[in-house]
Structure 1
Amino acid sequence: MPPTLYAVVKLALQNKGSRPPEGTGSKILQEAAALLNSAFRPFLAGNFNADDTEVKGILMVQETPRLIQLIQLVDLEMNPARFNYALGVGSISGKMDPEAYEESGPAWTRVNRALKEAARGNQDIVVRLPSSFLTRTVNTLFAIESDLRNNWSEAHREAIKLVRRGRTQVEMAELLGVTQAAISQRLKHARWDRYLEVCATLDELLTQARWKVLLPWDLRKDQKKKGAAKEI
């Protein structure tokens, strides 16, 4: 029987750009953990909790695509704080309990490496999946998602918050005290339609993360590794 897979998620405040006032970083991380537990509790294998440096939690593997919703929620609700996001999919070793779990196993190794990569790279989200091909493909798309999202202005975020809650442009205009044309322009300048297209493709790809199945590219890679091992 194959091991159960989990989707481990970590967030950390960015080191670059504007930093929160000294002593408030831990509070911001605690607030982010509370926000995520409130929004995603039905989909969690391990609750989100925070320390002085990061937030961590475990999604059930079939809920891996919710990472996109998670990123959007934190970006919109925790603004102007900026985070790096990491996802690692794999098995977990040791105790597994919603309230207490150990950072041991392939999923944790992957998420820790992904978070380090995000911290020193140009995009704020990095994922590591069981398939190396899926990992490369998903990270390429997340680079586009990250560029689009990080170009949103405060006005864009105001409109996007409401459209995510199902408001019509007429309702949004009334709530924000602007014209419907202004709302349309905000969403156009935010490239919201393009962003949704990218997220829909990411959703489809991340759905595959629940299966520990190697794609042809990965199979060839594994065969090469085995051949090299035999030669040694």
Structure 2
Amino acid sequence: MQYVAAKLDMVGSRKLARRSDVQKHFLVMAEEINAKFADHIEAEFVVTHGDEAQVLLRAFKAKWVFRIFEHLSLCMAEVDLRCGIGLGTISTDLQEKSIGMDGEAWQHAKQAIDIAKKKRQVIRFCGFHPELEPHLNAIGNLLCHVQGRWTKEQTETIHLLSKGHTQKEIAALIGISQAAVSKRLTAAGWQHYFHGRESLELLLGRAL
């Protein structure tokens, strides 16, 4: 059976002024991710070394791996995150939490995050269809680049949008006009990002 494993870490975490607070936030986010994406996660999202984490999904749920990373990035916008995503089998028993397992999926995820570090990329895919994998890497990093340029206000607005709120509801929650919400989304390039994410998710399904 094929799985998708993801390994994540904080970039330059040891240099963070409030590292302890950020690590606590990371642990809180692990619980939130496990609740929010419970229907799509095969082995729970786990923080492994304070500033590293990993999660496992069934291959047919691959599209959700980017959503998980996106959600974490939006909620922890104060730090830079990196993600390595690997496709393959696992050679050990499936665990409830994403620890104590080995196999192709985990090896490819480790390879992916190591390459991402070396190439200074935000996200990297390994073990996927060889003709499609370069496109996954290109689109994935383009989306992360766009997200990385969002202002604090744009990130806040898009985070609320990702929770299912309408623009009218977001305007009321933030205390601005609906027109101002629309302006923020336009300035962030939200529609382009949204369609780019759809393309990445479609490609992920075909690259298994």
Q: Deviations over 1:110-166 (max 9, x none)?
A: 100111122233331111133111211100111210111100111001111222233
Aligned mates of 2:19, 2:177 — CA distance in 1: 40
Distance in 1 of aligned mates of 2:87 and 2:122: 18
- The answer for the alignment partner of 2:18 in structure 1 is 21
> Which region of structure 1 is more displaced relative to structure 2, 126-135 or 140-149?
126-135
Whole-Å Cα distance in 2 between the matches of residues 100 and 184 of structure 1?
Answer: 39
How far did 1:17 drift?
Answer: 10
**Candidates 192, 195, 209, aligned match of 2:193:** 195
**Aligned residues, how many?**
207
Residue type of the partner of 1:61? A
Q: Does 1:98 align with 2:88?
A: no
- State the alpha-carbon separation in 2 of the partners of residues 151 and 34 from structure 1: 27
SS in structure 2 opposite 1:8? Answer: strand
Supply the distance in 1 between the matched residues of 2:98 and 2:168 (Cα, whole angstroms). 46
The residue that corresponds to 2:42 in the other structure is: 45
Q: CA deviation at 1:22?
A: 4.1
Secondary structure of 2:180's counterpart equals helix
- State, as a whole percentage, how many aligned pairs show the same letter: 24
**Structure 2 residue identity aligned to 1:203:** E
Partner residue of 2:28 out of 27, 31, 35: 31
Q: Does 1:6 align with 2:8?
A: no
Tell me the equivalent position of 1:87. 85
Q: Which has the larger radius of gyration?
A: 1
For residues 118 and 76 of structure 2, the distance between their equivalents in structure 1, rounded to whole angstroms, comes to 22
Does structure 1 retain, via aligned residues, the 8 Å contact 2:124–2:137? yes
Name whichever of 160-169 and 185-194 sits farther off: 160-169
Q: What SS does the aligned partner of 1:94 have? A: coil
Deviation at 1:19, TM superposition (A): 2.3
Question: How far apart are 1:25 and its partner, in Å?
Answer: 5.3
Q: Is 1:186 matched with 2:157?
A: no
Kindly indicate whether the alpha-carbon contact (under 8 Å) linking 1:26 and 1:51 is maintained by their aligned counterparts in 2.
no
Gaps of 5+ in 1: 211-232
Does the CA contact (< 8 Å) of 1:10 and 1:57 recur in 2?
yes
RMSD over aligned CA atoms reads 2.1
**Equivalent AA in structure 1 for residue 202 of structure 2:** E
Change (3 A) 1:94 1:160: same
Taking structure 1 as reference, are residues 17 and 202 closer, same or farther at Cα in structure 2, changes over 3 Å only? farther
Determine the C-alpha separation between the residues in 1 that align with 2:169 and 2:47: 36
Task: Tell me, in whole angstroms, the C-alpha distance in 2 between the residues paired with 1:72 and 1:35.
Answer: 13
TM-score, normalised by the number of residues in structure 1: 0.81
1:175 maps to what in 2?
173
Q: More displaced, 166-175 or 133-142? A: 166-175
Q: Which residue of 2 aligns with 1:131?
A: 129
Contact 1:92 1:105 in 2 (8 A): yes
Task: Find the residue that maps to 1:120 and give its secondary structure.
Answer: helix
